[in-house]
Structure 1
Amino acid sequence: MVRGVVGGGHGANGIVTEVSSPAADSTFRTAVARQLDTFVADQRLLLTDLDPAVGDLVDAAVDFTVGGKLFRPTFCHAGWLLAGGTPADPRIAAAGAAFEWLQGSALAHDDLMDGSDTRRGRPSVHRDFEARHAAAGGFGDAEQYGARVAILLGDLMLAWADEHFRRADPDARTASLWDACKSEVVSGQFLDVLSQTRDTLDVASAMHVIRFKSAKYTIERPLHVGAALAGGDETLLSRLTDVALPLGEAFQLRDDVLGVFGDPADTGKPAGDDLREGKRTVLVARTAQVCGHDRVLSLLGRAEGVDELHDLIESSGALAAVEVDIDRLVTQAEQAIAVLGDEAASLLDPLVDAATRRVR
C-alpha cells in the first residue's frame, strides 16, 4: 500500500514540497509502513477467524490510514534521534506506527462528530458504511449504521494503537507520556465540543483548545515519546516542549486557514467545510472581534452562511492576523530550536516548514 509523507523543501509560492530532515527519511517511512502492514496482517488473521465479515472493518482501518502526512511518526522519530537513538532500531518504527493508529482513531470519531462527508478526498468512515448499507438494501437506518461503525472503527484503531505501542517495549516513563497524549487529545476534543455550546467567540479560548486538541498531540507528545524511548532526560523533554507548543499551535492555525481557503484538490475536503461544521477557530474568533459576535454566529454552522463568512474572514483582516500569529509562533519555535543546537536544527527546521507551509 502507498502511505503519505510529510512534505518539506520549497516549491512555487513558498509551498513545502519535500522534507530534507533526517527524521523524515524514506528508510524510516518504509519501516513504519512495514510495521503497519505486518500488524494488519496479524489482526486480519485473528479477527476474520471470529467472522469473515469483520474483514470489512480491517479493510476500512487500512484504507483510512493510507494517505496520511505521517507528522506524528516523523516528530516521534525526531525526538528519538535527538536523544541519541539508533536510526534503524525497530522500536521507534513501532512507536511511529502506533501514532498512526491513534490518529486514525481520532479522525474517525472527529469526522462523525463534525458530520464531515469526506476525508483525504474519500468518503469519511460513517458516510462510507452508510452508503454500503444503502447499496445492499440493509434493514434499518443507514445513517445510524454508518455512525455505529465509525465509533467501533475508531475504538478498534485506539486498541491497535496501544497494542502496537507495546511492540516498542516502552519503559514506565515512556508509557506514561503515551497515556498522557491519549488523555490530552480527548480532553481537547471535549473542550472543542463544549466551545460550540457557547454564544461567545474569543481568541484565548480558541487557542486553549488548540493547545490540547492539536499542539500537544501532534508535536509535543510525539517528540517526548521518541526522546524518552531513546533515554532522553527531562531537560531535553522540557526543551522539546519549548519547540513543540508554539509549533503545534502554528500547525493548527495553518490547518484552520486551509479548512476555509484550501483547495479541495489538496485538502481532500470541500472548501469552507470548517465553517459549515461550525468550528470555533481562531479565524472565526478574530472575525467576530471586528464584525461582531452575533453576526458571525448567525452565519457559522450554516451551509448558506459559508460564502458570506468566508468573505468576512478575509475582508475583516482576520486572515491576515492569523498569518501574523503563525509567523510569530514559528519564530518562537525556531528560537527554541536554536537553543538545542545545530543537530536539532538539521532535524527540526525542515519539519517547521512542513508543519506550517503546506497545502493540506
Structure 2
Amino acid sequence: MSSTDMESFLEIYKQIESEIIADIQSLPALSDNVKKQLTDYYSVCLPYTVPGGKMTRGLTVIKGVEVLKQRALTEKEYKDAAILGWQVEWLQAFFLVADDIMDGSITRRGSPCWYKCPNVTQDNAINDALILENMIYQTLRRHFKTHPSYVQLLELFIDTTFQTEVGQHIDTNGTPYADGERAPLDLTRFTLDRYQGCVRYKTCYYSFYLSCALALAYCGYDPESEEGKVLYKKAEDVCMILGEYFQIQDDVLDAFAPPEVLGKIGTDIEDAKCSWLVCKALELVNDEQRMVLEENYGRHDPVGVQKVKDLYKDLKLEELFRAYEDERKETCDELIAMIRPENFQELFKFLLAKIYKREK
C-alpha cells in the first residue's frame, strides 16, 4: 500500500473514533464532569491501542474487496471496506490489551503496554479491553445495519472472537495452576499437535481468515452457495498455512529479535509458552539438554532465559526455521495458484508478501 492509501485508511479511523467519542458524550443521566472524564480517557485510550501497528489485517479487507470487484472502488465502497478493516484492527486491540496483561508484558509496539501507562490501572485496562470489543459491534450496527450481509458480518466477528479465545486458553494453559499455584513444569505438554491447534485458533482465524472472509461477505458471496463454499474453503486453507507460518515467525522473533526492532520484549520463555521453538527443541534434545529446559524454562530469571536461548542456538533452530520458511513459501505458492477465479489469488499473494522473511 502506498503512503497515500495509508493516509486514507487512517482518516477513516479518525472518523470512527469521533463517532465513538460522540456516543460517549451523548450517554444519558451522566453529569458533564463524568462525561468529560470518560471522553478525555478514551480520547487517549483509542489512538494508543488501536492504530500504530502494521495494520495489515485492516488493509487486507480493502485489498480483498478491490480484488473481488476487479476495479477501483467507489468512495462508498472504499469507506465501507476501510470501516470493516478497522473493526479487525479494533479486535486486534482488544486481544492485545488483554494478552499483555495475561502475559505480564512490558512493551508493545515500542511503547509501554496500555496497562503499564500512567493513570491506567490493570483493572482499568481489563475493562478497556471489553469496551474495545463492544465498540466493534457499535460501529458495525451504525454503518452496516441495512447492508444485505449485516448478519454474516456480525457472525464472522462473533465466531472469530470465540475461536481466538479458545486458542488463547490453549496458549495460556501450557503450564496449569492448582489452588492458585503454578504446577511443576510438565514438558510433555509441549507438543507440535497442541501447538498447531493453539495457532489455528489463536492466530490463523483472526489474523488472516477474518479479513478475507469479510471481503467475500461484503461483496455478496454467500457461504451456503456452491461458489461461496469453494471460495471460503480455499481462503481458509491458505490462511491456516499463512497463519501457522506467521506464528512460528513470531516465536522465533520473540526469542532472537532485538526488542528495539521487534517493538516489544519477548517473554515466551519466562511465560512457559508452548512455542514452536520449545516443541522442536524437545524433539531434538539429548538427556543433558532436556535438563536445561527442565531447570530453566518458565522461570523469570535472565540467566535461565539465556541458557534456553543458547540451547536453541546449539540445536540450530533458527536454521531449521529458515528451511521451514522456504518450504511454507513453496506450499503457499502452489495452493494460491489453484485458486479460482484467478483474480482472487492476488489477495493471498499480497498477504504472503507482507509476512515472507519479515523481521518484526
TM-score (norm 1): 0.82
Aligned to 1:83, the other structure's residue is in SS state helix
Corresponding residue for residue 157 of structure 1: 132
Q: 1:282 to 1:147 in 2, by over 3 A?
A: same
Q: Secondary structure at the match of 2:173?
A: helix
Q: Which runs of 4+ in 1 moved over 4 A?
A: 25-28
Give, in whole Å, the separation in 2 of the partners of 1:264 and 1:273.
11
What is the identity, as a one-letter code, of the residue corresponding to 1:174? L
User: Per-residue deviation at 1:208?
Assistant: 1.2
Say if 2:15 is the partner of 1:38: yes
Where in structure 2 are the equivalents of 1:1-360 lying within 5 Å?
A: 24-26=1-3, 28-47=5-24, 50-54=34-38, 55-84=40-69, 87-88=73-74, 89=77, 90-129=79-118, 132=119, 146-166=121-141, 167-168=143-144, 169=147, 170-197=149-176, 199=186, 200=188, 201-232=190-221, 233-270=228-265, 272-291=266-285, 294-302=291-299, 303-304=301-302, 305-340=304-339, 342-360=342-360
Secondary structure at the counterpart of residue 66 of structure 1: coil
Deviation of 1:294 (Å): 4.9
Q: Which has the higher contact order (CA 8 A, sep 6+)?
A: 1
> Structure 2 vs 1, CA of residues 298 and 150 (structure 1 numbering), >3 Å: closer, same or farther?
farther
The equivalent of 2:29 in structure 1 is none
CA shift digits 1:241-290 (9 cap, x unpaired): 122110111111111111111122221112x4322332220111111222
Distance in 2 (alpha carbons) for counterparts of 1:172 and 1:128: 37
Deviations 1:1-60 (A, max 9, x none): xxxxxxxxxxxxxxxxxxxxxxx4555533432222112122223435543222223312
1:110-151 Cα offsets, whole Å, 9 max, x none, are 00000001101111011114xx3xxxxxxxxxxxx7210110
Partners of 1:297 and 1:159 in 2: CA distance: 42
Distance 1:180 1:153 in 2: 21
In structure 2, do the counterparts of structure 1 residues 290 and 221 end up closer, same or farther at CA, with 3 Å as the change threshold? same
Where 1:275 maps in the other structure, the secondary structure is coil
> Does the 8 Å CA contact 1:262/1:359 hold for their aligned counterparts?
yes
Q: Measured at CA, do residues 163 and 45 of structure 1 come closer, stay the same or move farther in structure 2, by a change above 3 Å?
A: closer
8 Å contact kept, 1:95–1:164: no
Pick which of 27-36 and 51-60 moved more: 27-36
Q: Matched residue of 1:87: which SS?
A: coil
* 3-state SS in 2 of match to 1:337: helix
CA positional deviation for 1:345:
4.1
Coordinate RMSD, CA, aligned = 2.2
Consecutive unaligned residues of structure 1, counting only runs of 5 or more, are: 1-23, 133-144
- Normalised by the size of structure 2, how large is the TM-score? 0.82
State the percentage of identical aligned residues.
23
Q: CA separation in 2, counterparts of 1:340 and 1:258?
A: 31
> Is residue 292–residue 308 contact of structure 2 (8 Å, CA) maintained in 1?
no
Amino acid at match of 1:37: K
Larger Rg: 2
The separation in 2 between residues aligned to 1:295 and 1:178, in whole angstroms, is 42
How many residue pairs end up in the alignment? 322
Could you tell me which amino acid in structure 2 is paired with residue 41 of structure 1? S
Structure 1 range deviating more: 241-250 or 73-82: 73-82
Secondary structure at 1:301 match in 2: coil
SS, match of residue 276 in structure 1: coil
Post-superposition Cα deviations, 1:199-222, rounded to whole Å, max 9, x if no partner, equal: 121122112101110011100121
Distance 1:253 1:165 in 2: 32
Give the Cα separation in 2 of the matches to 1:58 and 1:297. 46
Distance 1:300 1:352 in 2: 32
Deviation at 1:230, TM superposition (A): 0.8
Q: Contact (CA 8 Å) 1:246, 1:330: kept in 2 or not?
A: no
Equivalent position amino acid for 1:249 in 2? E
Q: What letter matches 1:177 in structure 2?
A: L
Structure 2 portions without partners, runs of 5+? 26-31, 177-184, 222-227
Contact 2:272 2:298 in 1 (8 A): yes
